[in-house]
Every structure is written in structure tokens, then in C-alpha cells.
A and B are shown apart, each in its own frame.
Chain A
Amino acid sequence: MADLKNNVKAEKKEQEKEKKQEKKVERLERKLWKERLKLKQKEREKENRKKANGRLDWDKLDNTANLFPVIADETMTNVYRIAVNLTEEIIPEKLEMAIEKVLEQIPLFRMRLRQGAFWYYFEENLRPFPGIREEYKVPGSYIDKHNNNQYMFRVTFYKCRINLEVFHALTDGFGGTIFLQEIIYQYLRYVHPQIKEETAGSEYPEIDKISTGIHMDREDSYVKNFKKPAKRKGSYQSGKGLVLKGEKLAPGNLGIMHGFLSVAELKKVAKEKGITINELLVGCFVYAVYKGYLNGRASKLPIRCCVPVNLRPYFDSTTMKNFFAMVSAEFKPEERENEYSFDEVMGIVHESLQKQITKEHLEEILSYNVSNQMKKILRIVPLPIKKLAIGYVYGISANATTSTVTNIGNIKMREPYRKYIDKFYVILSVSKGQNMKGTIVSYGDTLTFTISSILTDTSVQKYFFRTLKQLGVDVAVETNGFGAEE
């Protein structure tokens, strides 16, 4: 009996020894692979420099992008994250290979930011991509370009999730989504070579190239669609809005709460109320602020929720650069006997958004925003002075908005890849005056509404998801651990 026990122990020890040996070999192989990749990257860099010899591709920043380098710092990063959760653990080497492959083909993401005497501009970045790391920072952390080989995006991974974080000066959610989609396609082709084999004989075989039909357009659609604005009574500047205040998380932290909802259930509720899903969620968010933050009380300042609108469909643009305009859903709770009901708030928000999301109104906003850039007298102001002025104007307008709720829409992935993809997430970093933000993205029947916040109080989140539940939409919640227990 004792002998048997000893034999079993000895076997277990052998097995553990073998496992350790295997892990050691794996680690060495990975190290070797990384060294080889670094050498390859350095050789490619040398070749690129010889070819370029000062003739690098360059580009202007679009109208919106001019703001971000001025205001971005470690407390207000202007970095957004689009993430995908796959059905299996990420293999870092394959992911890095996929990013290298895709980066060669999408020049917009190969740009670095340079400072001119009057404007910032982009220039082709010949440095090698700095590689990927396991997630080590809070979502939406500052991208220090000089520690990132001058790239304005970062890719990290954790377990089954790939995170793409982009500095907003480069592109908006539209461009970020395309880049991530191509990375996913290429990564899955490397990890599952059978995808290429299975589609080899078909009409649209999967090959190691970015998808056909992607527009590599880098026009500044703001300037292209600019029309001299008619003289307007009053300005587009809003008065002060309600700012969500309270005890904050430790500096550098960001509380993330994802709510998973069924698109079918949301559609049903939205249809019953005669509104869109987007309006329903924005209205719900505004109502949650009214109930969770104001406790149903009146307020001198309105709850003003910015809703970015993708301008591409309205102006027939396919640009990869930023092209969106901000409209605001506004609700000012007046002093009265009874609290506002959800339907009342929803009605006010719906009316507010309907009035603003028309082509004419969006054209006016676009022209107003671009008009300053077009004034010759302002164009010759040196950049350091422009930065002070932009920073000052931004600082004043920061208190005009309570929050932002952005919807990057429904992400569609091609058939051979769908079984490997679980869902998508989008996270916005907070900004001055907006201590809480919401994002919406859907994939298949799952819509993920993410609330990012630097406040410790989670009443707004609680009311938001509970209200949806009361409307008949089931919710499941996931956080990053910086919630009520913090």
C-alpha cells in the first residue's frame, strides 16, 4: 500500500516536472520569436528609411482632430477603446503578426503627430510598431506617443479579449472599428488556417489581405462639406449644464460597467414607444441622471447629454478620419408637485433629438464648427497661441455638458469568422466636466451599453439598468471591479 502511494507520488512529481519543462520551452520559443520579430522590424525600418529619404507621406488633421492634441493629457486622455471578446484565449504572437500585416495596408494608422508653426499635422511613421502587451492599464489610458514609437494607438489583450485603444485625433469610432475588424479577420486566419482552406474554392475566398470595399479615403469631410454659414441670431454655444459631481475614484482609475441587453427586446420596447433604440437608451440615461443623481428634484441647470452623430450617411462621405457632429438631448427638471415620469422625460429627449438630427441642422453645425478654421486671420495665429485659445474656449464650454452617449452601431462580421467572436465593447475615457460617459455597440442580438465613470457613486448606473429592466428588457452586468466595493 505504501509502495503504491509512493509510486503515485513519484508519478505526479514526474508529471509536474514535465509540465515545468514544457512551460520553460514555450517561454524560450516565445522569447526567440520576439527576438526574430524585432530583427525583422529593424530591417524593415532601415529599408523604409532608405526608400523614404525625407519623402514621407503627410496629411492635415481634420477639423475635430485639431482640438485633441491641445487638450489631451493624463487626466483627460481623449482615448477610446473598442474591444472584442473571442471564444478562445488570445495567442499574442499571432495577434502581433496580424497587427503588423494589417498596419502595412492601412496607412492612416501608420501616422505620427507633428507640430507645425500654425497647425498640427500627420506624417508617415517609419518606426516599428511597438508590439502588444497583456492589459496593464486602465481602459482609455493616456497614449504617450513618445513611449509608443509615436503611434497613436495601442493594442492590448487579456484572456479572450483584444483591446484597441485609439487617440481620437487619428480617427473616430468608424475608423477604429474598421481597423479592429481587419485585425480580427487576420488574427483568426492565422490561428485557424482552415478558414482560408475552406473558402479557397468559393466566390469570395478568404485571403491574407484587408477586406475589399474598405475605403482608404482620408479627406477632411468637414472642409469638403463646408458652406459659409448664414448669419445666425445667437450662437451654438450652450449655457451651463448640470455637472455630475461627487467623491471620485483614486486618480488614474476608471470605473467600467457593461450592461448586456437583447437587441430584439429593445426593438420591441422602442417600437411600442415610437422611438429608436438610440433615443430609448439616451432617454433612459437622462432619466437615470434625474433619478439617481438629482433624486427626482428640480434643477436650475439642465441635464444635457451630447450625442455624436455620424455625418457620413448625410454627406455621402467614406472618410476614415473623424466626421461627426454633436447634438444635445436636453432636459431641465422644473419645480413642480410630482416627479417627472420616464415617459415624460423620454418625450422631451425624443423631441430634442428629432429637432436636431436633420441634414439642414447638421450642416449648420458643421459649417459653424469649420468657419473658425477657414478665417484667414485666425489661420495665421501661431500654434502656441492657438493652443492657449482652444484650451481656454474648451475649458469654458466643458461645463455645458453633463455627459456623452455615443453609439457606434451594429458591428457585422463575415460568416466564417462569426463562430469565434463573442461580443464587442466600446469605452470612452472621461473628459473635463463629464465625469461619466455612455457607449453603445451591438453585435448579433447582444447590445452592450457601457458606462465609464470616475465617480464612486453608482446610483446613475443602478437607475439606468433598473429602468430598462422595468421596461421589459433583461439585463446582465459586468464591471472591471471599480464599482461600489471600491
Chain B
Amino acid sequence: MKRCESCNMYIYDDTELCPMCNSVLSDVSEKDKQEVIKKYGRPAPYPDIKERSRKLAFAMKLILFIFILAGTAMIIVNAAVTPQMWWSLIAVSGLVYIYLGMRYWIRHDSGISSKLGKQILITIPLLIIIDYYTGFHKWSLTWAVPGIIILGNVIVMFLMLFYRDRWYAYLMLLLMLLVCCAVVSALMIFNLVTNNTLIYVADGITCTYLLAVIIFFGRTFRREMKRRFRV
């Protein structure tokens, strides 16, 4: 403990300078120290929290740096070699998608259900965009998107089995997949799909899964829906 003669106060910190006015502190006798402690209480110092080596933050910065270099290199090569087809923009979109996805998964404070759901919602338009800019052969809506929906169903099933005690936490993800099925099925009307098979398979799996949940776990399903959709 020391004393600042400028501020006319006792300073508990183990320091040479006053934290308020930066003047040099004077020493305090043991008697004065005990009197101050008796009046205001004991010192309660703080630990010396040094800057931890942020390995993860460094890794993300390194990845960003590599991605920027790679993206720039691809654009330059594309411009020099095949300027008639801008394939590099697709590759750069992919790099941006991967980087943002990684950032979100690592940094964002949300559960796995939310992260998976958002990942699926970002992936679907990305695939459609790639399809569109590569001649729009409709492979995204015919094969890729239904494939992702089926994969999503498998993941949800796995999560519900693995986390049996809180399986209902993944119901929203299942509902989201149902909505995706409905949207893709609706696009069949506009002839945006060349082959309906996989879409029917995806619809069938999702609807059957949801039906089984509602029939066998109706009470829990209703309870969860009441909480999630409370207005």
C-alpha cells in the first residue's frame, strides 16, 4: 500500500505511480497501513492476466491470408489463360463460403442444431448459384439440393439417437428440412428440375421421419412446438 500526495489518497496497489494522476507514490508506515485496512478492508488484488497466445485466432488469420493469396492467384490465372469463362469467381465464392463457415462454427455462441441449419441454408443457394453460372444444367435442384436434404435427415437422425435425452432439441432442424423439401418440390412446377426421383425420395424420407416423431412422441413434440412457436 502506498499514498498519493497529489490526490491525498491511499492506493492499495503494489505500484510506484498513482493510477489516477501518474505521480510518484510515497511509502506508508505499517501503522497507517493497518488503520486503512481496519477502515476500508483488506486488499483484494487482481491476477496478472497476460495476453494468451491466441493460437486459434492466428490460425484463422493464416487461413484468411492463404485464401486471399489463392483467390487472387486464381483470378490472375483465369484472366490470363481463360478469360472467356470466369471459373475463378466460382472458386473464390467457394473459398469465401468455406472461410465464413469456419468463422461461424468456431466463433459463434450457438448450438449444433442452429449451426447445421444455417450451414444448410447457406449451402443450398451457393450450389444454385454455381449451377446457374456454369450453364444452369439444373443439377443443383435435381441432385445436389435433395441430396443435402437427405444428408440433413441422416444427421438429424444421428443427433437424435446420440443425444437421446434431448432429441427434441433437433426438431426445428427437421422442420427446416421439411420446408426445404416443400420449396424444392414446388420448383418442379416451374420445370426447374430435370428428374424428380431424388426429390421424391427426399420428401418421402423427411415426411416419414416427421410422421414417426409425431405419432410416437406426440406429447414431447407438442410441448416443444408450443415453446418454440410461442407468440
Contact = CB atoms under 8 A, between A and B. Distances in A.
B25 to A, nearest CB: 11
Contact of A477 (B19, B22, B111): B19
A296 to B, nearest CB: 17
B13 A476 contact: no
Interface stretch (A269-277, A356-364, A403-411, A457-465): A457-465
Nearest to B21: A462
Contacts of B109: 142, 144-146
B42 A87 contact: yes
B11 A477 contact: yes
B219 to A, nearest CB: 8
Nearest to B36: A476
Nearest to A459: B20
A136 interface: yes
Nearest to A466: B7
B8 A469 contact: yes
Nearest to B111: A146
B46 A158 contact: yes
B55 interface: no
Interface stretch (B59-67, B146-154, B188-196, B221-229): B221-229
B230 A60 contact: yes
A425 B17 contact: no
B30 interface: no
Interface in A329-387: 376, 379-380
Contacts of A465: 7, 9, 20
A250 B42 CA distance: 29
A58 B114 CA distance: 20
A10 interface: no
**Interface size band for B:** 35 or more
Contacts of B40: 260, 262, 423, 446, 476
B56 interface: no
A85 interface: yes
B183 interface: no
A159 interface: yes
A238 interface: no
A154 to B, nearest CB: 14
Contact of B18 (A135, A474, A484): A484
Contacts of B135: none
Contact of A475 (B9, B42, B169, B231): B9
Contact of B49 (A53, A58, A119, A138): A138
Nearest to B20: A462
B114 A115 contact: yes
Nearest to A138: B49
Interface in B22-42: 22, 36, 39-42
Contact of A116 (B8, B22, B228): B228
A376 B18 CA distance: 56
A480 B44 CA distance: 9
Interface string B191-231: 00000000000000000000000000101100110011111
A484 B11 CA distance: 13
A121 interface: yes
B13 A481 contact: yes
B230 A121 contact: yes
B229 A478 contact: no
Contact of A54 (B39, B44, B223): B223
Contact of A480 (B17, B18, B46, B51): B46
Nearest to B107: A74
A485 B15 contact: yes
Given A116-B227, A121-B230, A123-B227, A477 B20 contact: yes
B220 A54 contact: yes
Interface in A430-486: 446, 458, 461-462, 465-466, 469, 474-481, 483-485
A425 B44 contact: yes
B17 A262 contact: no
Nearest to A135: B47
A54 B221 CA distance: 9
Contacts of B21: 458, 462, 484
Contacts of B44: 83, 85, 159-161, 422-423, 425, 478
A55 B111 CA distance: 20
Contacts of B41: 85, 260, 422-423, 446
B3 to A, nearest CB: 10
Interface in B97-129: 109-111, 114
A54 B51 CA distance: 43
A380 B231 contact: yes
Contacts of A483: 13, 19-20
Contacts of A158: 45-47
Interface in B68-89: none
A15 B214 CA distance: 70
Nearest to B114: A115
Given A446-B41, A484-B20, 18 more contacts: A49-B165, A53-B220, A54-B223, A58-B227, A83-B44, A126-B165, A135-B47, A146-B110, A158-B47, A160-B42, A256-B46, A376-B231, A379-B231, A425-B44, A446-B39, A446-B40, A477-B10, A477-B13
14 contacts: A60-B230, A85-B42, A85-B44, A117-B172, A117-B229, A126-B165, A135-B47, A161-B44, A423-B40, A458-B20, A469-B7, A478-B11, A478-B13, A484-B21
Interface of A: 49, 52-55, 58, 60, 83, 85, 87, 114-119, 121, 123, 126, 134-138, 142, 144-146, 158-161, 250, 256-257, 260, 262, 376, 379-380, 422-423, 425, 446, 458, 461-462, 465-466, 469, 474-481, 483-485
Q: Which 5 residue pairs are nearest across A and B when measured between Cβ atoms?
A: A483-B19, A478-B12, A260-B40, A49-B165, A480-B46
Interface of B: 7-13, 15, 17-22, 36, 39-49, 51, 109-111, 114, 165-166, 168-169, 172, 217, 219-220, 223-224, 227-231
